[in-house]
Amino acid sequence: MSLQRRRGQMARVWKTKVVTDKRGQTVRVADPDSPYEVRAAFIPQRSAKAEVPGQQQINVVRMLVDAELADVDLWGRVEWAGKQWDVVTPPALHYGTRRTRHWSIDLRERT
């Protein structure tokens, strides 16, 4: 495990589950009943500040977390730094040695 992930910040990650909605269709949603408590490194990617009324502020960060994290995909959700974050890109598994193998997940702050 890298130094950044070992000494990183705590986050709560919700994996996804398949449920049936009101119309009888199967959909994937974040499962609030079984969150993971993980330690991860966070790298700012891009942001846009809302300067005019009606604009939206956008914050995107990349979360680096251990490779043992499972069942997290585009419908997952993360709670970090007191805010809710959506997964915006499919998590990417980076292979390597046991110490360097990790997932990188891009997150966008919920408004």
pLDDT in tens, the chain (111 residues): 455 556 789 999 998 889 999 999 999 888 888 888 989 999 988 766 665 565 566 788 999 988 888 778 888 889 998 999 998 888 888 888 877 888 899 998 887
Q: Model pTM?
A: 0.78
* Of the candidates 38, 48, 44, 42, the residue with the CA atom closest to the CA atom of residue 14: 38
Helix extents (H) in 1-111? 3-6
Domain 3-109 fold = Thrombin, subunit H (2.40.10)
